[in-house]
Structure 1
Amino acid sequence: MRELSEQEKFWQGDFGNQYVDRNIGKPLVAANLALFDRALTRAARIASVVELGTNAGNNLQALHQLLPQSELFGVEINECACAQARALDIAQIWHGSLFDFPRERTYDLSLTKGVLIHLAPELLASAYAQLYALSRRYILIAEYYSPVPMEVSYRGNSGKLFKRDFAGEMLDRYADLQLLDYGFVYHRDAQFPADDVTWFLLEKRP
């Protein structure tokens, strides 16, 4: 069995549990619905979605409303979050690290939202590989953006929050990916604030 990284253990434990408690509620689901509605405007029919880093299922709830006919799958390392996501009964939730999720099939859309920012830089290549391999057509990345890699102190912890051009790095890494759309959600948005998230919709060329 693979030894989990320090960061994986961090999110698996008490800090991850506290994150779950801070990040639940209808306003968050509504903001996610508005974000996904914009981010997926240019995507064709999406019949299946896999989210790497599901947490308690806020994103899946929004996607279930936006894409009611789609098969939804989530991957979550924290047991408490996994239980809450499963209790929603709208998606199949796999408990474990996103790096260990089996590539048994592909999905019309693979996505992360607020997950890549919490991975140590040396883990990103493996995360990108998962997003790419699991996607049949689209990849959605919704994270904090910076044109140059930088680390930010996160609730008194170092080595737990990073900003960079995640989408650009994927575009450089995989020649058949193209940028289909992108956008920004401002924390002072009057209707659906979303913590200054920049999203990128990538598509695999035929």
Structure 2
Amino acid sequence: MRELTAQEQFWQGDFGDQYVERNQGNTLIAGNLALFSRILARTQRLNSVLELGTNIGNNLLALHQLLPGCHLHGVEINAKAHAQAQSLGIASVWQGSLFDYPQARSFDLTMTKGVLIHLAPELLPAAYAQLYDLSSRYILIAEYYNPAPVEVLYRGNSGKLFKRDFAGEMLDRYSDLQLLDYGFSYHRDPQFPSDDITWFLLEKRP
């Protein structure tokens, strides 16, 4: 059995449990609805979505409302978060590391939101491969952006938060990917505040 990395152990344990408690509420879900409605407007015929790093399912809740006929799937390493996400009854949520999720099928859209930023840089190629290989058409990356890689102290912890151009690295790595759209969600938005997320929607060329 594979030994979990330091980041995986971090999110699987007490800190991951605390994250669950901090990230709940209707304001967050409303912001997600506004965000995903903009993003999904650029897609066509989504029948299946896979989110790597689902947490308690806040993103899946928004997607379920916007895409009521879509088959939703998630991956979550923290047991407490997984239980909450699965209990929503709107998605099939697999418990474990995104690196271990089996590539048994593909999905119309694969995505991460606030997940790649918490991976050590050496783990990113494997994460990119999962996003790419599991997608049949679209890839959504919604993370903290910075033109050059930089580490940020995260709630007193080092080695747990990184900003960089994740989408640009994927575009450089996979020649058949193209950028469809991108945008920014600001924490001071008067109606739908979000966590300063920059999102990129990529598509595989046929």
TM-score of the two chains, using structure 2 as the length reference = 0.99
Aligned to 2:170: 170
Which amino acid counterpart does residue 177 of structure 1 have in structure 2?
Answer: L
Which secondary structure state, in structure 1, belongs to the residue aligned with residue 147 of structure 2? coil
How far did residue 25 of structure 1 move? 1.3
1:48-82 per-residue CA deviation (whole Å, 9 max, x = no partner) reads 00000000000000000010000000000000000
Aligned to 2:27: 27
Q: What RMSD over aligned residues (CA atoms) do the two structures have, in Å?
A: 0.4
Aligned to 1:145: 145
How far did residue 40 of structure 1 move? 1.7
Matching of residues 1-206 of structure 1 within 5 Å: 1-206=1-206
Which secondary structure state, in structure 1, belongs to the residue aligned with residue 153 of structure 2? coil
1:128-176 per-residue CA deviation (whole Å, 9 max, x = no partner) reads 0000001010000000000000000000000000000000000000000
Which secondary structure state, in structure 1, belongs to the residue aligned with residue 64 of structure 2? helix
Which amino acid counterpart does residue 34 of structure 1 have in structure 2?
Answer: A
How far did residue 45 of structure 1 move? 1.0
How far did residue 27 of structure 1 move? 1.1
CA distance in structure 1 between the aligned counterparts of 2:143 and 2:6, rounded to whole angstroms:
21
TM-score of the two chains, using structure 1 as the length reference = 0.99
Q: Across the two proteins, how many residue pairs are aligned to each other?
A: 206
CA distance in structure 1 between the aligned counterparts of 2:25 and 2:64, rounded to whole angstroms:
15
How far did residue 12 of structure 1 move? 0.1
CA distance in structure 2 between the aligned counterparts of 1:42 and 1:16, rounded to whole angstroms:
33
Which amino acid counterpart does residue 111 of structure 1 have in structure 2?
Answer: M
Which secondary structure state, in structure 1, belongs to the residue aligned with residue 140 of structure 2? strand
Unaligned runs of 5+ in 2: none
CA distance in structure 2 between the aligned counterparts of 1:185 and 1:72, rounded to whole angstroms:
23
Aligned partners of 1:40 and 1:201 also within 8 Å: no
CA distance in structure 1 between the aligned counterparts of 2:32 and 2:104, rounded to whole angstroms:
28
Aligned partners of 1:60 and 1:91 also within 8 Å: yes
Which amino acid counterpart does residue 204 of structure 1 have in structure 2?
Answer: K
CA distance in structure 2 between the aligned counterparts of 1:195 and 1:6, rounded to whole angstroms:
25
1:71-94 per-residue CA deviation (whole Å, 9 max, x = no partner) reads 000000000000000110000000
Which amino acid counterpart does residue 143 of structure 1 have in structure 2?
Answer: E
Aligned partners of 1:151 and 1:161 also within 8 Å: yes
Unaligned runs of 5+ in 1: none
